[in-house]
Structure 1
Amino acid sequence: MKILHINSYYIDNHLYSQLYKVLDAEMQQVVYIPIKTDREPENLVKLSKTDLIFEKIIDPFHKYNYFGKIRKILKSIQTKQLTNSVDFIHAHNLFTDGALAYKLKKKFGISYIVAVRTTDIGLQYRLMWHRRPLIHKVLKNADSIVFISNTYRDKLFAMMPKSLVSKITYKVRVIPNGIDDMWLNNIQRPRAVPLEDRVHLLYVGQIISRKNVLLLIEAVTLLNKETGDKYTLTVIGPESKTEPDYYKTFLDLIKTLPWVDYKGRVKPGEGLLEAYRSCDIFVMPSKYELFGLVYIEALSQGKPVLYAKGEGIDGFLKDYHAGKAVDPDNAKAISDGIRAIVREYDTYTDFDDVVLPFNWNTIATVYKNMYRKHE
């Protein structure tokens, strides 16, 4: 069969290429990737049955003209005849890709599934009231609605009319994203011994405000005042062009803290694997995090994790003994969470049940079964 993927976030999230790689073995795929006019194609993977079609089509004014953006992209999809011989559409977000899939279903009768991302909920649905009537149609007409955690399903449903929720609940599927095979091929079990000397903490992520890097450093500072610099923090991740002042504040702060080791950007691979293995605890009290596969990567290397209450990873990990959820806006709560993990360190013995479901082959099989209902 032939699948049309509409994926406007492809160049910002390289994990999608791994899904397409697994699916490529069994079906034809066209991946349409509308990008901003000032961006360039990225992650140009070569697959035997899959075509990646990048189009620089999203103009700056589209930020203020959502419906104009949808009309322009829709016209381009039709002009390129991308729906020819397509059996099914997979829309990878709600407000752009999902709206396009809905319009294509109306015109060509092609069924679709739609995924819901963090920005769909916390930004678009919460603030863009004038877009809601169209999005309600997208949800009602989708074959399935995919969330990567129960937490985000509940957040969206809490904002929606109860009458609509009752009509679409039966279509909801919770399907996580996968992690790279490298992590699953190199699983390391927890050491399950007490932490008695220095404690090595690791953060991996962009240096941006919602990731709470500065508050994390404040929390570790509190711990080191109590313990005489027992805690070290390794920070891996790039700056963000959207928050240069935050990044500068971070750089100025760590100059005064000898126990912070900033590595900058580290490319995925053996270097990042070694960083996880060298730490004791992974710490990222990030807000508005759709899920955060870095937590699963850390667990695959036997490291317990500290994360924010109420976020996607919290909804998933609450049934496992894998770390601590904390208030992400409170430095003392973060330091208390780290202290609790240290205190219980020898009780973390096995994370396999958490990690193994994040296998792209398993996840791709779920998607294939959803697609094949329409063969």
Structure 2
Amino acid sequence: MKILHLNSYYIDNHLYAQLFTVLNADVEQRVYIPIKMDREPENEVKLNQLELVFEKIIKPFHKYNYFGKIRKLFHSIRLKRFYEDVNYIHAHNLFTDGALAYKLKKKYNINYIVAVRTTDIGLQYRLMWHRRFLIHRVLKNADCVVFISNTYRDKLFAMMPKSIIEEIKHKVQVIPNGIDDLWLTNLKKPIAKPLKKEVKLLYVGQIIKRKNLLLLIDAIQQLNKKTKHNFTLTIVGPENSSEAEYYKQFLELTNTLPWIDYKGKIKAGETLLHVYRDCDIFVMPSKNELFGLVYIEALSQGKPVLYASGEGIDGYLKNYDVGQAVDPDDSANIAEGINTIVNNYKNYTDFDDVVLPFNWNNIAKVYKKLYVRNE
């Protein structure tokens, strides 16, 4: 079997390379990756059954000419005959990859599954009304529509016509992303004891506005003034050149607070694992988060988590006692959430049921069954 992956977000997300690596044992794969003219290929992996096809093709005006972009990408796929000897298509987002998969099915009768990302919902579907007619066709013609959480399925369905939902709901499947084997082979249980006076908080993620890091810092300042505990915050995250003013504000604030340790970027690996192990609570009240595998990484090391209510991770974690959901726009509620975790710390005993489903080998088996069943 040979799969054509349509993956316009490949270079910005390392998760895909992990999935393709696991699938490589049983599936031949070609991955079409359209990128902006000023970008270079990234996340390149060399496997015996994997062909990565990067194409510098997306120009600045395509941001304002969606249908022109789709026509150009489709023409390139046809011209270079990337669809040849392919048994099945896996489209990794809805508005670009899904639209291309739909056009390939209509032209060459190749079946496909399509995944729905958070930007497909919160930005594209919510605001780009003129594109919806095409996207409804994409969804209706797909063999399977994949969401990584029930929350994002419900968010999209809340905006869609009921007639479309009735047509597609039977083929919706929720399949999470996986975490690196490093975390699963080094699982650590929670300490299941009350915390001492010093409480070590950890944030791992980009230093961008929607992550609510400045609001988190304000919440911790409140806690240090009002509670008996001394809270410290370790921050791991790269420099943010796209939001330069926000990043400057972040640096100015953190330089004035001795209880913050900003470590900059730390690559995934043993060093980052020990950073997780050295903390008591993982805190990231982020909005518009696709899912947030950092929460699962933290839980794999026995650390309870603070996260935003109503986001993808909330839909998954709300059935488990692993931390606290908070209003990400309310620093007082964030502070209250952290305090709740501290007061209940001894009750956190085992996170295995939450973490173990995020195994790439098991996830790849689900996808392979979908490929074979729908081929």
Q: TM-score range by the shorter chain?
A: over 0.9
User: 2:128 maps to which residue?
Assistant: 128
Q: Secondary structure at the match of 1:191?
A: coil
Note the C-alpha offset of 1:158: 0.3
User: 2:210 maps to which residue?
Assistant: 210
Matches within 5 A, 1:345-356: 345-356=345-356
Report the RMSD for the aligned CA atoms in angstroms: 0.8
Q: Deviations over 1:148-171 (max 9, x none)?
A: 000000000000001111110001
Partner Cα distance (1:36, 1:5) in 2:
18
Matches within 5 A, 1:143-162: 143-162=143-162
Partner Cα distance (2:53, 2:336) in 1:
48
The normalised TM-score by structure 2 is: 0.99
Contact 2:197 / 2:229 at 8 angstroms: preserved in 1? no
Contact 1:112 / 1:143 at 8 angstroms: preserved in 2? yes
Contact 2:197 / 2:228 at 8 angstroms: preserved in 1? no
The more displaced of 231-240 and 137-146 is 231-240
Partner Cα distance (2:296, 2:238) in 1:
20
Matches within 5 A, 1:285-300: 285-300=285-300
Matches within 5 A, 1:126-205: 126-205=126-205
Q: Deviations over 1:121-161 (max 9, x none)?
A: 00000000000000000000000000000000000000000
Identical amino acids, percent of aligned pairs:
71
Partner Cα distance (1:155, 1:242) in 2:
28
User: 2:112 maps to which residue?
Assistant: 112
Contact 2:144 / 2:172 at 8 angstroms: preserved in 1? yes
Which ranges of structure 2 fall in alignment gaps of 5 or more residues? none
1:25 partner letter: A
Contact 1:236 / 1:263 at 8 angstroms: preserved in 2? yes
Partner Cα distance (1:241, 1:31) in 2:
29
User: 1:314 maps to which residue?
Assistant: 314
Partner Cα distance (2:252, 2:196) in 1:
31
Contact 1:208 / 1:239 at 8 angstroms: preserved in 2? no
Partner Cα distance (1:44, 1:88) in 2:
22
Partner Cα distance (1:374, 1:313) in 2:
29
Partner Cα distance (2:182, 2:79) in 1:
40
Note the C-alpha offset of 1:228: 6.7
Note the C-alpha offset of 1:239: 2.5
Confirm or deny that 1:63 pairs with 2:60: no
User: 1:22 maps to which residue?
Assistant: 22
How many aligned residue pairs are there?
375
Note the C-alpha offset of 1:240: 2.4
1:179 partner letter: I
Partner Cα distance (1:229, 1:216) in 2:
17
User: 1:103 maps to which residue?
Assistant: 103
The normalised TM-score by structure 1 is: 0.99
Q: Deviations over 1:284-311 (max 9, x none)?
A: 0000001000000000000000000000
Note the C-alpha offset of 1:115: 0.2
Q: Secondary structure at the match of 1:103?
A: helix
Partner Cα distance (2:374, 2:307) in 1:
39
Which ranges of structure 1 fall in alignment gaps of 5 or more residues? none
2:28 partner letter: Q
2:95 partner letter: F
User: 1:230 maps to which residue?
Assistant: 230
Note the C-alpha offset of 1:374: 4.0
Partner Cα distance (2:80, 2:246) in 1:
42
Q: Secondary structure at the match of 2:89?
A: strand
